[in-house]
């Protein structure tokens, strides 16, 4: 028996960009089990303009259009009148870089709202008066926040209890303990003369765990030394 763990509302100008991301694999299974509800809202539906325009020129001049405050605020007010939100997130290149700790934190929440930006950004009054957390998935710019929102939601939902068939799997992912995951192997044990490390075939779980820990640390030192530095500073 499953019950709904979380509701995620995503506000977007192009919600159709996210349909496929949430209609297959783990995301679909989580929704089918009732572990999460994902609702996509088109901001254009809340425009008071007969042409459904949602952008305008920015005050002070400059290149690029800005998402207007009215349709976004109208939609947010409607949703907030129906339930309380633990976090209202804006996906933006100048937000805090998404890390596993943030995903872990959000996976424990009940109701989360996510706003996808477009154009030059949103009227800053939305950020000042509605947004509780700003997140970026990297130091680069996309055409809009939809793909970034899909990345965030995927990271959150897979951590919900009952979503993964093996619930311990997520606990051994890269970054859960600020280390990269060790290398993994499966059958056959020999392919083109390439062999699986003998320790993994030994059946000695203590030695296997030790090998994995050593490999994880070594990989992190080589590929992500910043994570080791972060641990030392912490």
Instruction: Look at 41-45, 126-130, 159-163 and tell me which has the smallest mean pLDDT.
Output: 159-163
Q: What is the CATH classification number for the domain harbouring 135?
A: 3.40.1280.10
Same domain, 55 and 116: yes
- Domain of 43? 6-157
Average pLDDT, the chain: 92
Confidence of residue 145 (pLDDT cuts 50, 70, 90): very high
Q: How many angstroms separate the CA atoms of 26 and 93, rounded? A: 27
Is the overall model pTM greater than 0.85, yes or no? yes
- Of 127, 126, 230, 116, give the one whose Cα is nearest residue 180: 230
For the chain, give the secondary structure using H, E and C.
Answer: CCCCCEEEEEEECCHHHHCHHHCCHHHHHHHHCCCEEEEEEEHHHHCCCCCCCCEEECCCCCCCEEECHHHHHHHHHHHHHHCCCCEEEEEEEEEEECCHHHHHHHCCCCEEEEEECECCCECHHHHHHCCCEEEECCCCCCCECHHHHHHHHHHHHCCCCCCCCCCCCHHHCCCCCCCCCCCCCCCCCEECCEECCHHHHCCCHHHHHHHHHHHHHHHHHHHCHHHHHHHHHC
Higher pLDDT, 164 or 114: 114
- Of 9, 18, 82, give the one whose Cα is nearest residue 41: 9
For residue 209, CA distances in Å to 43, 148, 176, 185 come to 50, 34, 16, 14
Question: What is the per-residue pLDDT across 39-74, written as a single tens digit (0 to 9) for each?
Answer: 999 999 999 988 889 999 999 999 999 999 999 999
Same domain, 95 and 204: no
With the CA atoms of 58, 60, 61 and 64 taken in that order, what torsion angle do they form, in degrees rounded to the nearest 10? -30
Same domain, 222 and 111: no
Which structure tokens are listed for 35? Answer: 């572990």
Q: Work out the end-to-end distance of the chain between its first and last CA atoms, rounded to an integer number of angstroms.
A: 41
- The whole-number pLDDT of residue 2 equals 45
Q: For the residues 189-211, what does the mean pLDDT come to? A: 97
Q: For residue 165, tell me if it sits in a domain.
A: no
Which residue bears the tokens 């901001």? 43
Q: For the residues 202-214, what does the mean pLDDT come to? A: 96
Confidence of residue 175 (pLDDT cuts 50, 70, 90): low
Centroid of chain to Cα 80: 22
* Domains in the chain, number: 2
Q: For residue 198, tell me if it sits in a domain.
A: yes
- Final residue in a domain of this structure, among 125, 157, 189: 157
- The whole-number pLDDT of residue 176 equals 65
Q: What is the CATH classification number for the domain harbouring 198?
A: 1.10.1270.20
Q: For the residues 74-95, what does the mean pLDDT come to? A: 97
């Amino acid at each position: 028996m499953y019950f709904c763990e979380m509701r995620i509302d995503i506000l977007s100008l192009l919600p159709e960009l996210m349909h496929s991301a949430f209609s297959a694999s783990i995301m679909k299974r989580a929704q089918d089990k009732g572990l999460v509800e994902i609702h996509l809202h088109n901001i254009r539906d809340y425009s008071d303009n007969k042409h459904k325009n949602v952008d305008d020129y920015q005050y002070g001049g400059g290149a690029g259009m800005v998402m207007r405050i009215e349709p976004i605020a109208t939609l947010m007010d409607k949703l907030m009148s129906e339930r309380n939100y633990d976090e209202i997130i804006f996906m933006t290149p100048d937000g805090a870089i998404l890390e596993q700790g943030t995903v872990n934190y959000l996976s424990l929440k009940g109701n989360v709202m996510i706003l996808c930006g477009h154009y030059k950004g949103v009227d800053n009054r939305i950020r000042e008066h509605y947004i509780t957390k700003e997140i970026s998935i990297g130091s680069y710019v996309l055409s809009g926040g939809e793909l970034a929102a899909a990345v965030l939601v995927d990271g959150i939902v897979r951590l919900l209890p009952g979503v993964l068939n093996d619930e311990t799997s997520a606990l051994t992912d890269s970054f859960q303990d600020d280390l990269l995951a060790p290398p993994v192997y499966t059958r056959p044990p020999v392919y083109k003369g390439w062999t699986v490390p003998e320790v993994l075939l030994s059946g000695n779980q203590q030695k296997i765990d030790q090998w994995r820990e050593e490999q994880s640390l070594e990989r992190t030192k080589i590929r992500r030394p910043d994570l080791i530095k972060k641990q030392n500073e912490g």
